[in-house]
Amino acid sequence: MFEKIISWFKSEDQQDTVLHFGRYSDSFKSDKQVEYWNIALSEFEKSNYLEAYNNFFTYLLDEKEGNVKYTITGEEIGFEIYQGSKVVKGKTNKDLFQAEVILAEYKDLNLAVMRKLLEMNYTLQYSRYSINDNKISLKFDSSTLDGSPEKIYYALKEVAIKADKLDDLLLNEFPGLEQVDNFHVEEVNSKEKEIKIEFLQKWIRQTLTRISKIDRQRFEGSISYILLNLAYKIDYFLLPQGKLMNEIEKIHGIFFTNFELSKVERNNQIIKSFEKILAWSDEEIKRELYKVKATFGVTNPTAHTSVVQVLEEEMKSIDWYKKNNQNDMVVLHMEYISLYSLFNFGLRMPSRLLFDILIEVANPDFYKALNFKESLYDPEGEKLNGPILQKRLKHIVSTAEQKYPQLGFDNTKLSFNSRPEFMESMLGEIKKLNFNTVS
């Protein structure tokens, strides 16, 4: 379903290229994958460890991603799991489960690197950092008897996600380290990179100019939404890696964890972060734009009730902007709701696809720059492309109803009079989604 919908986005110049937006998610696996998981649990309980792990790796495999490889040789399974720029390699037999990812190589290891690794060891639950044979690694091992599929899943997730985030940061912080095991990373084509860099810089400049005209004390709430929306938009469209991804996550953390600071102070810190990114050279940014495979999503599966809570809370702010005739903030705020949900929640596919449509409607210039064949919104004529929107929505809903017969998304309740009205009516229908699987 997802590949078919993506194919509608292709232009004549993109027949061989499918562009993916938003973070990878492994939330809400298919029924077939869930079956493999249940078999893994059952076989483990019977002490059929190799058969359990065989089904476990099949559960992890996302055929669209090609993210897991494993081979069975006699009484041993060897495996490779891809996560971003790193590869987790390991093996398991009837006695032991071992996994390791090499972060970097070195010729001379200084004290600062060892101190950092020692400090970071305290943040780990399952794994540990290791220095051996001029390599820095992240390792996990367990006796097979104690290696239930649940434990192995969370251990491998920790190793994979930590390693993917850390390798680029270590290389940037410590020039003496060298990159390793990134053979699977794919380059983004040069034209796409140029467009993404152009929009990154344009979005930041426009945002900084916009908030420079707003009273930072009086309208600190509006400024927060503008800044966070920018961060999530960069994450969604550019799929940044390494240093740029780290900056976006730091911006998110500044606002949602530094509660000892006032909102104005947090906004000011975020502004400085964007100013720092804007000062990077094109070459620095290019190094953070590449294609990767993933096995684990950063977000955890999220109940739809959490999305509903966000919608109910944020719609109050939208009402204020509507009453004050701030239509630009109405659109931005509804774009923010969509981007925030995709950044923070592991959503079911129907929700993801519906939020994707809202984001596309809010950003027609970006899709036009990438030569997408059909635009959902014409900013010059301020007109929605009703037929294409209806076609896309009908396919999403009809496909989703095969699994969720009570989904409840009603196309007839959507308003196509204006972009703000359409986006608000879409959010209203998303709010009502029912993911019960029994009719």
Domain at 28-178, CATH class: alpha beta
Which token pair is 326?
């701030």
- Cα distance between residue 336 and residue 329, in whole Å: 10
The amino acid occupying position 202 is: K
Q: Tokens 């010059």 belong to which residue?
A: 380
Percent of the chain residues topping a pLDDT of 70: 95
pLDDT of residue 19: 65
Model confidence, pTM: 0.90
Q: Can you list the residues of the chain whose pLDDT is less than 50?
A: 1-17
Which token pair is 404?
């969720």
Burial-class residue 110 by CB neighbours within 10 Å (0-12, 13-18, 19+): exposed
- Which helix (H) or strand (E) segment holds residue 76: the answer is strand 76-83
Asked whether 307 and 341 are in contact (CB, 8 A), the reply is yes
